[in-house]
Structure 1
Amino acid sequence: MQFNIHPINLLRALSMALELSTGGLSRHHWRTAMISGRIAEYIGLDEAQQQTIIYAALLHDIGAASSWEEKKKLHIFNTNNQEIFHHAEAGYELLKDSPQLGLLAEPIRHHHDYWDGSNPTRLFGKTIPIASRIINLADRLEVLLRDNVPIFEQRPDILSAIRKLSGIYFDPDLVKALHEFARQESFWLDLVNPHYYNNFFKSISSYGIMKFTVDDVINIAEIFATIIDRTSSFTASHSRSVSIMAAYLAEAKGYSSEEIKAMRIAGLLHDLGKLAVPNEILEKPGKLNEWEFAMVKQHTYYTYRILEQIDGFDIIAEWAAYHHETLDGSGYPFRINEKSLRLGSRIVAVADVFVALTENRPYRATLPLGRVEQIMQGMVSNRKLDGNIVADLFGNCQEAYGLMQASISDEVRKVSGA
C-alpha cells in the first residue's frame, strides 16, 4: 500500500491537531506558518528552504501539545519565561529520529532562542538556524494579534513591540524585513481573514506530492500516538495498545497484510481529537458532569475532520473516528447505525473498549479479564458492540492480551533507554 500524499495536506492536518482547544481551532500554527513563509520569501530564501520553514512552523509547538498548561503559557508574550524552551526541546526529541519529519527537528529546537544568546542552548546571532530565527519572529508576532481589536489599530503597537526586541530577542535583519513588507495592508488583512487559509495552503501545494509507504505513515502516526497518550498519566500506552489489538482482530477477520497496517494507523490515531480535551477532565477521578462529558464526546469528531484531509485516508478516517458509534445508532458524534458502520470501525471500537477496561483509570482500577468479558458481552447484548468481533477476541483472549502487554513492555524499555 502506498499513499500519494501532498505533504502540505499531511502537515496541515497534523498541525490542525495542535490547534485544538475548548473554543475550537486557534490557528496559531497556521498563521505562524503564513508569516514565516512571507518572511522567507521576502528575504530571498530558495523554495527548498521556504518549504522546510513552513513545515516546521506548522508543527513548531508540537512539544507542548499534550499539556494545556504549557499551551497557555505559549500564547502570552513574555520574553522572561524560561519555561518556553522546554517544549522546543521536547519537540526536537519527538521528531529527531523520524525519517520523514526529522529535518524539522533542529528548526523547532531553536525556535525560541534569543538573538543575544541569553537562553539555555547558548546559540546566538547567526549561529541560530535561519529557519528558527524566522519562526521565532513569526510566532511572537502571531501571539500579539488580538481577535477583538481591528487589525490596523493593532499594527503600530505590534510593530513597536517587535522593534524594541530587535537585536535582543530577534534577528535585526529579519525585523527590518518585516517592517518593510508589513507596509502592505494586504499582509495584515490576510492574517485576520479566516477564508485566506485555504488560499495559503493552495499556494504552497506546488511543493508537490511525496510518496509515503504505509510504514512511513505508521512511523509518523507513532509520533502523534506518543503525544496523544501523554495527555493523561492513565493512558501512557493506550493508542499503541488499541493499535495492536485492532490489528490482531483485523487479522482474525482475514484482512490483508497492508490492510492490517492501515488498521494499525487507525488505532494509533483514533484518539487524535483528544488534544481538544483539557488534561484535568481526562484525569478527573469522579464522574464527569454534563459539560465535561460533552467536551470528551467531541474528540472523535475532530479525529475524523483532521484525518479526512489527508490524501488516501478516507477509510482510515472512518475506522479511527467511528470507534464510539454503536450498532443501535446511539453512539457519537455522527449517530451512525449498524447499516452504515463498517467492519473496520467496529474492530477499533472493540479494541478500544477492551484496552480501556484493562487499563488503570482515574475512576477505577484495572479490571480482571473475566469481568472485562462480562461487561463487553453485555454491550453486545445491548447492541453497542459487534458480537462476532467480541467472540474473536475472547476466543483467543490470552494470546491477544499477551501481545498487548508485550507491546507495552517494549515501549517502557524504549522510553527508559533500557
Structure 2
Amino acid sequence: MFVSPVQPMQTSLPELMGAFSFALDLTEGQPEGHSLRACSIATAVARALGIEGDELRTVYYTAMLKDLGCSSNAARVAETYLADDRSFKHDFKLIGDGIGPALRFVFAKTGRGQPLPRRAGAILKILRNGPQIVDGMIAARCTRGAEIARLLRFPEAVAEAIYHLDEHWDGGGRPDHLSRDAIPLASRIALLAQVADVFFINAGPDAAREEVARLSGSWLDPELCRHFEQVSRERSYWQSLCADSLPERIGNLIPAEAAMAVDEDFLDDITAAFGQVIDAKSPYTGGHSERVGDYATLLGRTMGMTAAPLRKLRRAAILHDVGKLGVSSTILEKPGKLDDDEWQVMRGHAGETARILSRIAPLQGMANIAAAHHERLDGKGYPLGLGASDLALEARIISTCDFFDALTADRPYRAALPADRALEIMESEAGRAIDPACLSALREVQL
C-alpha cells in the first residue's frame, strides 16, 4: 500500500512526480511530456484490463518514472558511441527490434564527424564487446532506477517494475532475460506505453499503433497490445495526449493519489533523490548536489537564516543543476575548452533549471534562486546577466558553494584542488563573482 504522509502542503504526490518527470524527459532526449503521455497510455491500458487499486498505482508510477535511472548511463553512451547521448537514445528507440537494424544504426551513429581512426577504433570496440557493453549500460540504468524509486518511498512493486522495464515478452530483453508472465505486469505495460508515445510523437497515431502491433509477441505482451488497439482507436484519444491540460489531468487520473499530500520531510527526501538523478549524469559530479546543499545549509545558518528559509535554501541548492540533464554528456565530459556552440548549450542549463523548478508548486519560489548560481555580482554571469542589486542572499550562497565544490572536485579538464587553494582562487573573485560575506562564512565553516 502507498502510505499517505501527514502535514499536507499545497501539492500532491502525482503533481510532484509529474513535474519532476519533465527532467527525466530531458535526460532521455524525449520531447517534453513524454513521461506524462506514457503514464496516460499505460493507465488506460491497465484500466482496460480491469486493473484497479494498488496494482493500478504501480502501473501509473512505473510509467511516469520509468526513466529514473537513465542519467546513470548517459556518460557511458557518449563515451562508447562518440555521440550526443540524448539524440542517440532518442533515435535508438525508433529503430524497432532486430540485430540488423541495431547494427546499422550503431555503425551510422558512432563517431559521426570524428577523425576516421577514432571512429574506427570505437566501432571495433563495439564489435568485440557489444553485448557486454549494452548489458552493462542497461543494468546500470535499471538498478539505479529501482534504487531511486525506493528513495522516493515507492513500494517494492514499483522499484521492481522500473528495474524490469527493458525485458521483452519473448525473453530477448534485459537485464534478466525474463519472458512472458515472469515480467512484472507494470513493466510490460510501461514498455508498451513508451513505444507507443515515441512513435506517436515522431510519426503520428497510425505509426504508434502499427509499431505496437509489429512488436506484439516479440517485445510486447500480445494481450496488452490488443487492449491498446481498442483504447487508441479514436483520434480524440491521441488529441488528449497533446492537450495543455495533460499535466493536470494526469495529476487527477487516480483520485486517491491526487488526494495524497506531501509533507516537508517527504519533500526533502524527494529533493535528495532527484539530486542523485542529477549527479548520475556525469562521473565527475557524484555527490555534488548533496555537498552544495550541505555547504549552503552551513553558510545560511552561519549568516543568520532560520529553520524554514534554510530548508528551502537546501532544496534549491540540491536541485540547482537539474537543467544539466538536458546537456549532452559530450559537452559535460569534454576535457578541453568548449566551442561557442557548446558553451551556448552549457549556459542554457541554468534557464532550464528555472523552467523545471517553476513547475513544482512548493519550489516555485526558489526556481530563479537556484537558476542564478552562475550569475555574478558584477553582472557578467549567466543566464540573465544579473548584478549585485538583483541577487538575493540565497542565490549568493548557492553560487559560492557551487564554486567551491567545483574547484575541490575532479573535472574532465583538471584534478581536484585542495580546499586552501580553492579559497585563494575564490578570494580573487570576491566582490566580482561572489559575495565577500558568503566567502567569509565559507572560510568560517571550513575552519
From 144, 156, 181, the equivalent of 2:199 is 144
User: TM-score, structure 2 length as denominator?
Assistant: 0.78
User: TM-score, structure 1 length as denominator?
Assistant: 0.83
What fraction of aligned residue pairs are identical, expressed as a percent? 31
Shift of 1:188: 2.7
Q: Tell me the SS of whatever aligns to 2:430.
A: helix
Asked if the contact 1:96–1:103 (Cα under 8 Å) also holds between the matched residues in 2, the reply is no
Q: Tell me the SS of whatever aligns to 1:195.
A: coil
Aligned to 2:441: 392
Aligned to 2:412: 362
Q: State the one-letter code of the partner of 2:224.
A: L
Q: 1:56 to 1:313 in 2, by over 3 A?
A: same
Q: 1:162 to 1:368 in 2, by over 3 A?
A: closer
Within 2, Cα distance between the matches of 1:269 and 1:337?
22
Answer 1 or 2: higher relative contact order, Cα 8 Å, separation at least 6. Answer: 2
From 230, 234, 244, the equivalent of 1:195 is 244
Shift of 1:323: 1.2
Shift of 1:122: 4.8
- The superposition leaves residues 170-222 of structure 1 with CA deviations (integer Å, 9 ceiling, x where unpaired) of 2222111111222211123334x363534633543743243333332222222
Within 2, Cα distance between the matches of 1:198 and 1:314?
16
Shift of 1:92: 1.4
Counterparts of 1:243-392 in structure 2, within 5 Å, are 243-382=293-432, 384-392=433-441
Q: Tell me the SS of whatever aligns to 2:262.
A: strand
Aligned to 1:56: 62
- The superposition leaves residues 371-393 of structure 1 with CA deviations (integer Å, 9 ceiling, x where unpaired) of 322322222232x2111111111
Within 1, Cα distance between the matches of 2:30 and 2:184?
33
Within 2, Cα distance between the matches of 1:387 and 1:298?
27
Within 2, Cα distance between the matches of 1:131 and 1:184?
24
Aligned to 1:76: 94
Aligned to 1:121: 176
Within 1, Cα distance between the matches of 2:422 and 2:35?
41
Within 1, Cα distance between the matches of 2:191 and 2:62?
11
Within 1, Cα distance between the matches of 2:61 and 2:384?
32
Asked if the contact 1:5–1:209 (Cα under 8 Å) also holds between the matched residues in 2, the reply is no
From 10, 23, 26, the equivalent of 2:16 is 10
Aligned to 1:178: 228
Within 1, Cα distance between the matches of 2:302 and 2:396?
13
Asked if the contact 1:32–1:58 (Cα under 8 Å) also holds between the matched residues in 2, the reply is yes
For structure 1, list consecutive stretches of 5 or more residues without a partner in the other structure. Answer: 399-418
Aligned to 2:146: 92
Q: 1:60 to 1:202 in 2, by over 3 A?
A: closer
Asked if the contact 2:36–2:247 (Cα under 8 Å) also holds between the matched residues in 1, the reply is no
**Total equivalences in the alignment:** 391
Within 1, Cα distance between the matches of 2:295 and 2:26?
27
Aligned to 1:107: 161
- The superposition leaves residues 238-289 of structure 1 with CA deviations (integer Å, 9 ceiling, x where unpaired) of 1121111111101101222343333322222111111111112111111111
Asked if the contact 1:4–1:209 (Cα under 8 Å) also holds between the matched residues in 2, the reply is no
For structure 2, list consecutive stretches of 5 or more residues without a partner in the other structure. Answer: 1-6, 78-84, 103-130
- The superposition leaves residues 77-111 of structure 1 with CA deviations (integer Å, 9 ceiling, x where unpaired) of 43357748432333113323542575521221222
- The superposition leaves residues 43-93 of structure 1 with CA deviations (integer Å, 9 ceiling, x where unpaired) of 332255434322221210221124443653452343357748432333113
Shift of 1:6: 1.8
Aligned to 2:49: 43
Within 2, Cα distance between the matches of 1:219 and 1:42?
34
Within 2, Cα distance between the matches of 1:159 and 1:2?
41
From 185, 195, 199, the equivalent of 1:130 is 185
Within 2, Cα distance between the matches of 1:239 and 1:12?
21
From 199, 204, 219, the equivalent of 1:169 is 219
Asked if the contact 2:15–2:251 (Cα under 8 Å) also holds between the matched residues in 1, the reply is no
